[in-house]
Amino acid sequence: MKLLGIMMLFVSCSMCGFMIDWHENRRLRELEKFIYAFEILKAEIDYRLTPLQEAAIYVSRLSSTGIKRVFEMFAGALSDKKTTDLNGMWEQAVNSNKSFFHLNAQDYTLLYEFSNACGYLDKNMQKKNIDMLIYKLEQELTLSRNKYQKNTKLNKYLGVLIGACISIFLI
């Protein structure tokens, strides 16, 4: 019975290390998908001269589940016209879909910056705002990817090592 408990403890500690690694990997993929979504949005606004609401709907059609829901909610809030606070609409759309993402606080801060200058500016300023956001997201992605490459084995092995140490201590 004691050995079964020790084995379960070892496996659970090992799985914790792998889950931390998986979570960080998902975060990197989601940042890439947000960059792609904002590039589509920029192209819609800049080249096709699509209004923000229609561009958000178009982006939602081409995006994956979580990002799709964010842009759908944002487009819905734009069409309702219950409020003129674009910042609040975007933040509400992002906040209500946080459960779909594995992003950290810095990532959400960058996403919230989108609404600070979007919507009430002309096409060129919106394009520059989205360019700046894409640039910041790409920088965060590069830094996170470098950190992930350094820590991926560490996370996995540390979980196994902690599990082994606790198991040996309990024996």
Which helix (H) or strand (E) segment holds residue 104: the answer is: none
pLDDT at position 119: 59
Find, among 25, 35, 58, 53, the residue nearest to 110 by Cα. Answer: 35
Q: Hey, what are 21's tokens? A: 């690694």
Q: Residue 141 and residue 32: Cα distance in Å, rounded?
A: 7
Does the reported pTM lie above 0.85?
Answer: yes
- Hunting for tokens 């979580």 — which residue is that? 66
> Would you place residue 117 in the very low, low, confident or very high pLDDT band (cuts 50, 70, 90)?
low
Tell me, yes or no, whether 7 lies in a domain.
no
Tell me which residue range forms the domain holding 90.
Answer: 23-146
Instruction: Give how far Cα 72 sits from Cα of 38, 53, 54, 114, Å.
Output: 14, 9, 10, 16
Question: What letters, b where the CB count within 10 A reaches 16 and e where it falls short, cover 82-97?
Answer: eeeebeebbbbbbeeb
Question: Structural domain tally of the chain?
Answer: 1
pLDDT of residue 104: 93
Mean pLDDT score, 29-41: 95
Cα gap 65→21, rounded to integer Å: 22
User: Count of CB atoms within 10 A of residue 41's CB?
Assistant: 25
What does the pLDDT read at residue 43? Answer: 92
| Per-residue model confidence (pLDDT) at position 158 | 92
Residue 137 falls inside a structural domain: yes
- 122 found inside a domain: yes
Mean pLDDT of 16-20: 94
In a domain, 10, yes or no: no
Residue 171 lies in a domain: no
Tens of pLDDT, residue by residue over 67-112, are 999 999 999 998 887 777 888 899 999 999 999 999 999 999 999 9
Asked whether the beta carbons of 60 and 136 are under 8 A apart, the reply is no
Q: Of all residues in the chain, what percent carry a pLDDT higher than 70? A: 98
**161 occurs within a structural domain:** no
User: How far apart are alpha carbons 122 and 23 in whole angstroms?
Assistant: 38
Residue 4 counted as domain residue: no
Mean residue pLDDT across the chain: 90
Pair of tokens at residue 1? 């019975």
User: How does residue 115 score in pLDDT terms, banded at 50, 70 and 90?
Assistant: confident
- Output the pLDDT for position 94: 94
| Domain-located, residue 163 | no
